[in-house]
Amino acid sequence: MSASRSTRRVIATLVASVAALASAALPAAADGHGRDHGATGKHSTITIGKVQYDSPGRNDRSNRSNRSLNGEWVEVKNTGRKSVELRGYTLTDKQGNRYRFRGLLLGGHSAVKVHTGKGRNTLRDVYQDRTNYVWDQRDSATLRNDHGRILDSKNWGPGKGRGAHHSGR
């Protein structure tokens, strides 16, 4: 019986060790460790969606009306379930024009349009308060988080394919 009791103790110790290792590894696997997460340590769900770079209707660039300016926009999407605070995130074009998000909590599975002109910010629309157009017919949009890490970029125009998309993930 002594051998049997020793065997049971060894097996019990082994089972407890395996259970402890498995429970420690489970959260790591669920968190997605082993993938590239960048500076935040998490897989980003914030991306660039649609881009309206050529204001609808007649636009000869001499018309700098606010309505026409707000006809161009870049959509920023949250593809995840959880809300994300966009404070400090930036959206830039090829020429270096930059829009920095102030406090905006972007809900899960939702989007916000960043318009060029002036307007009143809401949960669905924010405004750069510019008086000149930003998004040219041959341009790009780059989205960075509050640490400066590129989350997503989109290029368009001749030779780029309309709306060519590159994710920084």
State pTM to two decimals: 0.68
pLDDT at position 55, please? 80
- Specify whether 51 is located in the same domain as 1: no
Evaluate whether 68 touches 150 at the Cβ level (below 8 Å).
no
pLDDT at 16 over 90: no
Note whether residue 29 is domain-resident: yes
- Specify whether 65 is located in the same domain as 22: no
pLDDT at position 37, please? 37
pLDDT above 70 covers what percent of the chain?
64
Mean pLDDT of 94-113: 97
Instruction: State pLDDT tens for residues 64-84.
Output: 588 889 999 999 999 999 999
- Specify whether 103 is located in the same domain as 140: yes
| Count of the separate structural domains present in the chain | 2
Instruction: State pLDDT tens for residues 37-59.
Output: 334 445 689 999 999 997 875 55
Note whether residue 167 is domain-resident: no
Q: Which long-range contacts (CB under 8 A, 24 or more apart) does 114-123 make?
A: 114/73, 114/74, 114/75, 114/76, 115/69, 115/70, 115/72, 115/73, 116/69, 116/70, 116/72, 116/73, 117/66, 117/67, 117/68, 117/69, 117/70, 118/66, 118/69, 118/70, 119/66, 119/70
Note whether residue 164 is domain-resident: no
Report the range of poorest mean pLDDT among 6-15, 79-88, 150-159.
6-15
Residue 23's pLDDT band (cuts 50, 70, 90): very low
Note whether residue 168 is domain-resident: no
- Specify whether 57 is located in the same domain as 78: yes
- Specify whether 47 is located in the same domain as 98: yes
Question: Residue 102's domain spans which residues?
Answer: 42-156
